[in-house]
Amino acid sequence: MPAYDRAFNPPAPVADVTIVNPVTPNKRSRLRDKMDTGADITVIPERLIVPLGISPKGRVWTRGYDGTYTQRAVYYLRLTLEGFVLATVRCIATNRADVLLAKCPEPLSSNSRR
């Protein structure tokens, strides 16, 4: 079960997530994520695009929490969250340190050791 991080205002659930290039699975990155069930799209740090070797698969208009509209590249990635492999997740990239996980798709499987 994800923990709540009180460093966020308001406190938010956080968990470790592994981001995987679905075409080249050995290209992956593990970092912390902030879960946001109010978000419509998952956001990854821009700094992961080159190391993961991912290419944009289109563009989408997004609206930030401040109401600003921006057109951004769309990426499709595989995520593992708390031992559960999620279906392919549609993402955008911004200048942030962590992953912002939007409404979660159903897990495809669990590789949890529990």
The C-alpha torsion from 19 through 21 and 22 to 27, rounded to 10°, is -100
Domains of the chain, by residue range, sit at 15-101
- What is the pLDDT, as a whole number, of residue 31? 92
Q: What is the pLDDT of residues 75-104, one digit of tens each?
A: 999 999 888 888 789 999 999 989 999 876
Mean pLDDT confidence for 65-73:
92
Helix (H) or strand (E) holding 52: helix 49-52
Residue 37's contacts (CB-CB under 8 Å, 6 or more residues apart) are 102, 103
CATH topology of domain 15-101: Cathepsin D, subunit A; domain 1 (2.40.70)
- What is the pLDDT, as a whole number, of residue 104? 65
- What is the pLDDT, as a whole number, of residue 112? 46
- What is the pLDDT, as a whole number, of residue 105? 57
Is residue 42 very low, low, confident or very high in pLDDT (cuts 50, 70, 90)?
very high
- What is the pLDDT, as a whole number, of residue 76? 94
Comparing 1-15, 35-49, 62-76, 79-93, the range with the smallest average pLDDT is 1-15
